[in-house]
């Protein structure tokens, strides 16, 4: 029973945690990101310093970014491993909030260890302390409560024991996982206690594969056998469960076509004849046409976001029935479907056995294969537009896709790029596509890419980032250089917030406030391709170079292709900067997204957009 500080005990505890699934055991915490301040330097900082062999310390440049990196790492590890993140109290702690929300929305395990004010309250108010006249037990860390799946404040050293065990219970729970916060007062971190040996000992948490209920499974099998146009929507749960082989076996056996959510992209290789690609708002015409007629829709590991369902307009067959396979009963109950609260891989294996001998009609299988081929032709067309004078974003995606190997990873998060990638990226490997679209967080890209590379150093990681996201959070380029974790960053410059500019134009507001321009006549103006428009002279490539990256400036797609080839020979992070045409977008394909338009306005374009919105809503 060693007498050690609470912070030392926590570090030893984290280093001893392991998970096991399918007989494979692995360490759960593979390191700790941290930025030190008075709230954690003498506690967790001292513990990491004293025992660097227990938990590898990674130096971050931004607290939000280190949570993104941990989330990217956890996703790449299929939620079976993660990283801890420690900060001081004050702005360091509140900078965690966005990262915590992203992890929780995406159901990714991340442990947050913000310092806190004194539990003893002896020197209150300390530096950076938030004082609330009506309560004495509040700190800025309380802002993390609504975005954490579990939150606790350790006010005595012995409280660490139940708090740490409860944190682990949530982190390893595939249905309940997300951000977990242990707020750690700075005086408690440094206090000593006699911690039991069993608390610090090697511990294995078993990640089970829940079986589907036999009765409900029988109902689902009967429903599928009776269906004329069954349709599978593969979500992130297929990949986290490592169920892609089981999915392919069902598809090969039955001929049921598959469409994919953002998190589920890669569940089936793009060139499989039953693969229809992305579904919903950012979907392909192949997937959206089949979805519109489907009579049974089997959602596997999806939480049915509005982008997946096209604001509940994708599935237009009046008699459509839903089946939801999910480890989370909350998601399994959506859309009034038959809920199979179970592991994706186990359920698909059971379905394969129960559906033996069953196949869809040949005409349906042939239609799906034809749509797959037609969509691939459309992707080729968009890859090879040869748009002038500036290239289109779809051509940039094509160049990166052609340069990458099947096992390489593309990373993105926000703006117009995720939708284009969802439609156009030709994915062959289940872990080759990493787009954060649950929270669609600008700034995730580079930090998330760092986490991916940390989890899979053998893979090349291509980070696709627009100028808007780059300006929000580019700091972890420095960390990638420090750690020798090479990223290939494709920096696409369209002079502002392109995605919202396009949406604004469709709503009648001319892209107001979305282009990077000087203020003129008291206004930042509207989105315009007028060559006299005075755009801001921002040199993002020079900025990346100042952070330590090798920079390759590209003016054409041919130069980008050459630069991507050259980047493969580099050992450290490379940034390829290219300007694209802001107004040459990838079309929408037979889908709708519910974004309300102002009901009354003095602007004629807004009035027209409202009328179109009402027509679209009435037809859904």
Cβ neighbors of 393 (< 8 A, separation 6 or more) are 416, 417, 420, 492, 494, 580, 581, 584, 585, 586
Judge whether 168 and 109 are in contact, CB under 8 Å.
Answer: no
Question: Would you mind telling me the total number of residues written for the chain in this entry?
Answer: 620
> 475-489 as b/e, with b when 16 or more CB fall inside 10 Å?
bbbbbbbebebbbbb
pLDDT tens readout for residues 378-411: 999 999 999 999 999 999 999 999 999 999 999 9
Q: What is the dihedral of CA 114, 115, 118, 123, to 10 degrees?
A: -130
Domain range summary for the chain, segments of one domain joined by +? 3-206, 214-375, 384-495+536-579
Predicted pLDDT of residue 560: 98
A 10 A CB-CB count for 565 gives 10
303: three-class secondary structure by DSSP = coil
What share of the chain has pLDDT > 70, as a percent?
A: 100
- For range 3-23, the mean pLDDT: 97
In this structure, of 74-88, 125-139, 305-319, the range with the lowest mean pLDDT score is: 125-139
Mean pLDDT of the chain: 95
Closest CA to 403 of 223, 257, 272, 557: 557
- For range 147-175, the mean pLDDT: 98
532 band by pLDDT with thresholds 50, 70 and 90: low
pLDDT tens readout for residues 270-298: 999 999 999 999 999 999 999 999 999 99
Predicted pLDDT of residue 434: 98
For the domain made up of 384-495+536-579, give the CATH fold.
Answer: Rossmann fold (3.40.50)
What share of the chain has pLDDT > 90, as a percent?
A: 89
What single DSSP character describes residue 43?
T
CATH for 214-375 is: 3.40.50.1220
User: Is residue 372's pLDDT more than 70?
Assistant: yes
Q: Which residue has the higher pLDDT, 239 or 532?
A: 239
* Alpha-carbon span 276 to 287, nearest angstrom: 5
Query: The domain 3-206 belongs to what CATH superfamily?
Result: Thiamin diphosphate (ThDP)-binding fold, Pyr/PP domains (3.40.50.970)
Predicted pLDDT of residue 103: 98
What single DSSP character describes residue 263?
T
The DSSP bridge pattern shows strands 192-194 and 3-5 to be antiparallel
pLDDT tens readout for residues 457-493: 999 999 999 999 999 999 999 999 999 999 999 999 9
Closest CA to 544 of 507, 489, 505: 489
User: Is residue 437's pLDDT more than 90?
Assistant: yes
Alpha-carbon Rg of the chain, whole angstroms?
Answer: 25
- For range 410-419, the mean pLDDT: 94
**Could you check whether 3-206 and 214-375 share the same CATH topology?**
yes
Predicted pLDDT of residue 531: 67
pLDDT tens readout for residues 253-273: 999 999 999 999 999 999 999
* Alpha-carbon span 29 to 326, nearest angstrom: 26
Residue listed under structure tokens 């007062």: 185
Helix (H) or strand (E) holding 195: none
SS3 content of the chain, % helix, strand, coil (to 5): 40, 20, 40
583: three-class secondary structure by DSSP = coil
520: three-class secondary structure by DSSP = strand
pLDDT tens readout for residues 571-606: 999 999 999 998 999 999 999 899 999 999 999 999
What single DSSP character describes residue 323?
E
Q: Which residue has the higher pLDDT, 1 or 426?
A: 426
Task: Looking at 462-602, list the stretches that DSSP marks H as alpha helix, in order from N- to C-terminal side.
Answer: 467-472, 476-483, 498-506, 540-546, 557-567
Regarding pTM above 0.85, the answer is: yes
pLDDT tens readout for residues 601-620: 999 999 999 999 998 888 77
**What backbone phi and psi angles, to 5 degrees, belong to 424?**
-105, -25
User: Is residue 525's pLDDT more than 80?
Assistant: no
Q: Which residue has the higher pLDDT, 495 or 560?
A: 560
> 310-327 as b/e, with b when 16 or more CB fall inside 10 Å?
bbebbbebeebbbbbbbb
Cβ neighbors of 377 (< 8 A, separation 6 or more) are none
């Amino acid at each position: 029973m060693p007498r050690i500080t609470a912070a030392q005990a926590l570090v030893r505890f984290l280093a001893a945690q392991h998970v096991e699934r399918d007989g494979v055991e692995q360490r759960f915490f593979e390191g700790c990101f941290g930025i030190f301040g008075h709230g954690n330097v003498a506690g967790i900082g001292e513990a990491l310093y004293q025992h660097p062999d227990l938990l590898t310390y990674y130096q971050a440049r931004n607290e939000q970014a280190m949570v993104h990196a941990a989330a990217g790492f956890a996703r790449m590890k299929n939620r079976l491993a993660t990283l801890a993140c420690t900060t001081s109290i004050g702005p360091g702690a509140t900078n965690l909030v966005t990262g915590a929300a992203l992890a929780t929305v995406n159901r990714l395990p991340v442990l947050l260890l913000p310092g806190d004010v004194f539990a003893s309250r002896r020197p209150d108010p300390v530096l950076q302390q938030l004082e609330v006249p009506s309560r004495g037990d509040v700190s800025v860390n309380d802002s993390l409560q609504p975005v954490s799946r579990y939150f606790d404040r350790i006010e005595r050293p012995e409280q660490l024991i139940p708090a740490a065990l409860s944190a682990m219970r949530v982190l390893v729970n595939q249905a309940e996982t997300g951000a977990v916060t242990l707020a750690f007062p700075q005086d408690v971190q440094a206090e000593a206690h006699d911690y039991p040996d069993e608390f610090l000992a090697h511990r294995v948490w078993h990640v089970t594969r829940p079986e589907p209920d036999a009765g409900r499974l029988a109902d689902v099998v009967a429903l599928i056998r009776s269906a004329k146009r069954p349709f599978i929507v593969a979500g992130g749960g297929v990949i986290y469960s490592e169920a892609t082989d089981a999915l392919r076996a069902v598809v090969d056996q039955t001929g049921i076509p598959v469409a994919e959510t953002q998190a589920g992209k890669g569940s089936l290789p793009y060139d499989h004849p039953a693969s229809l690609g992305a579904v919903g708002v950012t979907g392909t015409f192949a997937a959206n046409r089949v979805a519109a007629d489907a009579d049974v829709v089997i959602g596997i590991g999806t939480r049915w976001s509005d982008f997946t369902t096209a604001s509940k307009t994708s599935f237009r067959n009046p008699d459509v029935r839903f089946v939801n396979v999910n480890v989370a009963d909350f998601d399994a109950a959506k859309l009034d479907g038959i809920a199979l609260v179970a592991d994706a891989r186990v359920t698909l294996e059971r379905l394969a056995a129960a559906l033996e001998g069953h196949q869809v009609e040949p005409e349906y299988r042939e239609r799906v294969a034809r749509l797959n081929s037609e969509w691939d032709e459309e992707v080729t067309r968009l890859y090879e537009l040869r748009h002038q004078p500036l290239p289109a974003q779809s051509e940039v995606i094509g160049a990166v896709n052609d340069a990458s190997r099947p096992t390489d990873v593309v990373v993105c998060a926000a703006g117009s790029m995720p939708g284009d990638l969802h439609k156009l990226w030709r994915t062959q490997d289940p872990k080759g596509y990493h787009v954060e679209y649950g929270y669609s967080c600008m700034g995730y890209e580079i930090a998330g890419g760092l986490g991916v590379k940390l989890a899979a150093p053998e893979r090349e990681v291509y980070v696709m980032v627009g100028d808007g996201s780059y300006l929000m959070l580019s700091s972890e380029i420095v960390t990638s250089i420090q750690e020798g974790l090479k990223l290939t960053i494709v920096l696409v410059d369209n002079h502002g917030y392109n995605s919202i500019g396009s949406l604004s134009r469709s709503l009648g507001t001319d892209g107001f406030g979305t282009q990077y321009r000087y203020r003129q006549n008291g206004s930042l103006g509207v989105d315009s391709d007028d060559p006299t428009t005075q755009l801001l002279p921002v040199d993002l490539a020079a900025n990346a170079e100042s952070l330590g990256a090798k920079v390759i400036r590209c003016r054409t797609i041919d130069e980008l292709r050459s630069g991507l080839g050259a980047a493969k020979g580099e050992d450290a992070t490379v940034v390829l900067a290219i300007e694209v045409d802001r107004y040459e977008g990838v079309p929408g394909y037979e889908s709708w997204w519910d974004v309300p338009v102002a009901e009354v306005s003095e602007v004629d374009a807004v009035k027209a957009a409202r009328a179109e919105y009402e027509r679209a809503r009435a037809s859904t």
